[in-house]
Structure 1
Amino acid sequence: MWRIQRKARRLYNNLIKLIVLASALIVAITLFNRKSPGTIDLPIINNFVPNISRLTASIEPLYNWLKTWGVAVVSAIILGIVLMKVIPYYRKIRMVRRSNIHSIDVMTGDQFEEFLVILFRLQGYSAKKTKRSRDQGADIVLNSGGKRIVVQAKREKGKVSNSAVQQVVASKAVYHATEAWVVTNSYFTEPAKELAKANDVLLWDRDRLIRELSKLNMKGQQTNQVA
């Protein structure tokens, strides 16, 4: 399922790039029109391309329309892009604020990573997912106050072994991180706890995650009361 979601996200991003490119073209044509009012006159191209005058005449209505409405169209497109980005993001924020440990238990690994990204952003971190194909042992990278933290996310049914700790320790050097964390909805094995302690890795187990969600929910309720 996460592969389908990633393909859909990639298609969406390519569509946004195409819209931005079209918007830039409209802006360029609009500015050109305002600098040089009148009909399109391309004498140099006329010498090389037969019937260019017929072509320019056919696009003259579009040319004039862009001159009149170009800025409005670009503004509408930009507003649409912003809304397409902002509205889903705020829906995710609301979803995170309303989530509990049981809703996390039924998430996929990819959904859990996206959930943590929003959770860490709400806590004041700059959070970004790494590319799955070459994450080098880190699923999320956090930045805050000059610190860089690599995070290994483990949405598991059983206990998390020390391999997760090994992976995040290895990723510290790759991402030039100052700290390493492993976050799970479950618990850690004793070898994982020992390895984490030896390598100064912070472990978020199920109880810690529940506490963080409680803090977030309480903060959201206080914000609503003030509003």
Structure 2
Amino acid sequence: MARRKKQADPLQGLIGVLMVGSLFGTYYITKSMTTGVFVAVIAVVIYAMIALLVNQAKVERLKKSGIADIDKMSGRQFEHYLNHLFKAHGFSVTVTQAAGDFGADLVISKDGRKLVVQTKRYSKNVGIKAV
């Protein structure tokens, strides 16, 4: 399996610039490093709360996905969908890393039994080589 390159999120970069800007901007206006740090910490807390809410909204959308949504998912999104599905049925679930997983996409366990799951979300039939 090819390694997937993680892409930088431009929103995270913008948030970082805003946080540093809030520190130095507040210091420039008030000439107080304490106030600047306080404002930067407030900015970090606000960002964390917003990120948490956005993540929860994504998880809820993922949980409510129907077959039409599943057909549009990437393989990785499908793995995370199954993660939530198995958790809803009482399993403990670990989604493996995207590359170097030896074909294991999920490790699920329940009642002392551990299972390794390889997921496929293809539009065509899956051949024996893929399995």
TM over 0.5: yes
- What residue is the counterpart of 2:32 in the other structure? 65
Q: CA deviation at 1:135?
A: 0.9
Select the residue among 110, 119, 126 that pairs with 1:153: 119
Gaps of 5+ in 2: none
**What's 2:55 paired with?**
89
> Does residue 1:138 correspond to 2:104, yes or no?
yes
Report the equivalent of 2:6: 7
Distance 1:62 1:120, change over 3 A: farther
**What is the alpha-carbon distance in structure 1 between the residues aligned to residue 65 and residue 107 of structure 2?**
22
- For 1:77, the equivalent position in structure 2 comes to 44
User: 8 Å contact 1:152–1:164 — kept in the other structure?
Assistant: no
Shift of 1:74: 0.9
- 3-state SS of 1:154 partner: coil
Q: Indicate how the Cα distance of structure 1 residues 79 and 141 shifts in structure 2: closer, same or farther if over 3 A, else same.
A: farther
| Equivalent position of 2:82 in the other structure | 116
Identical pairs, percent: 30
State the one-letter code of the partner of 2:6: K
- Greater relative contact order (Cα < 8 A, sep 6+): 2
Q: How far apart are the structure 1 equivalents of 2:125 and 2:53?
A: 36
SS at match of 2:119: strand
Q: Which amino acid aligns with 2:32?
A: W
Aligned CA-pair RMSD: 3.8
Alpha-carbon contact 2:63-2:81 (below 8 Å) kept:
no
Q: TM-score, normalised by structure 2?
A: 0.60
| Residue 110 (structure 1) shift | 2.5
Q: Give the 3-state SS of the residue equivalent to 2:108 in structure 1.
A: strand
Instruction: Check conservation: 2:74, 2:121, Cα contact below 8 A.
Output: yes
Counterpart AA for 1:7? K
1:1-227 counterparts in 2 under 5 A?
7-8=6-7, 11-12=8-9, 15=12, 65-84=32-51, 86-144=52-110, 147-163=113-129
Q: Distance in 1 between matches of 2:57 and 2:38?
A: 30
**C-alpha displacement at 1:131, in angstroms?**
2.1
CA, structure 1 residues 80+122, in 2 after alignment: closer, same or farther (shift >3 Å)? Answer: farther
CA distance in 1 between partners of 2:59 and 2:105 (Å): 19
Distance 1:136 1:102, change over 3 A: same
Report how many aligned residue pairs link the two structures: 119
Larger fraction in helix:
1
Distance 1:72 1:106, change over 3 A: closer
